[in-house]
Amino acid sequence: MTLFGADLFYADLSANYILSIAGQKGSGKTAMAFEIARWYLRRGYKLITNIDNIWSDADCEQKIETNPEYLKHSVIILDEGGRYLREWKFFEDLFEYARKFDNIILIPSTRIAHENLSEFICRPNLWLQRILPGKLNYWSYQIKTGDHDIIGSFWYKPGETIGVYDTFDVSRSPVYIIKAFSALIQSEAAKRGRSPDTVFSLVMGTETDGQSALLFNQAKTARALLSLSSKKR
């Protein structure tokens, strides 16, 4: 997969460290995350992710668990991170330490892990992709800086991530990555004489599958009632 006009995008990503990649299922979010990772791998970074692939070290998970320092100088893909991560405190600590640890963190997910992550979000433009000649896809991104928004875009041609990972493979929980981050941050905090209370603890989503299904059905019923009410008017 080759990106065209992505120089500014990579400059923005290297300055912000964390990127949400949004889009519906099958829109190429994970493939885009791997393409972005490839750019950093060529510059000496490691790849750490919760989805099996041929670019990560075979014993990557074991290295992380035994030596959290392994997380440094790496690009990290938290595939479907919105399914697992809910609390903003987690991302606050990532923002604080990602630069120190030299990390680029990519979160391709149908559900944005947290609304504040819309400060830097990348998504495919599906309607434009349908009318483009050949396999040439268009992505846009937005960065909210507080004073004004930065809007950018780039094109890519699919191909080079084929076979790197199984598109039908279900990603694992990133809990081992998050725990290693926690241990690494606690170590850094201890070196600076900070209280352990200042570092984050892992907080995963608390909704069970049953609760999620119940909330979904309730929302579906509410939409149906609103639609029926509108028709009566």
Domain ranges in the chain? 2-199, 203-233
Q: How many CA atoms lie within 13 A of 86 on its CB side?
A: 7
Q: Please report the pLDDT score of residue 2 as a whole number.
A: 65
Q: Please report the pLDDT score of residue 86 as a whole number.
A: 66
Q: Please report the pLDDT score of residue 205 as a whole number.
A: 43
Residues 6+ apart with CB under 8 A from 107: 18, 19, 20, 21, 77, 78, 81, 82, 85, 113, 117
Q: Residue 217 and residue 51: Cα distance in Å, rounded?
A: 30
* Beta pairing partners, 91: none
Identify which of 119, 108, 179 has the alpha carbon closest to the alpha carbon of residue 149.
Answer: 119
Q: What is the CATH number of domain 2-199?
A: 3.40.50
Q: Which of the residues in the chain have pLDDT under 50?
A: 197-233
Range list of H helices, 118-206: 126-131, 175-191
| pTM: predicted TM-score of the whole model, two decimal places | 0.77
Give, rounded to a whole angstrom, the gap between the first and last alpha carbons of the chain.
51
Residues 6+ apart with CB under 8 A from 22: 29, 109, 110, 112, 121, 122, 123
Per the document, the length of the chain is 233
Q: Are 21 and 29 in contact (CB under 8 A)?
A: yes
Q: Please report the pLDDT score of residue 34 as a whole number.
A: 92
- Compute CA 65 distance to the chain's CA centroid, rounded to the nearest angstrom: 21
Q: Please report the pLDDT score of residue 129 as a whole number.
A: 64
Question: Tokens standing for 130?
Answer: 């349908």
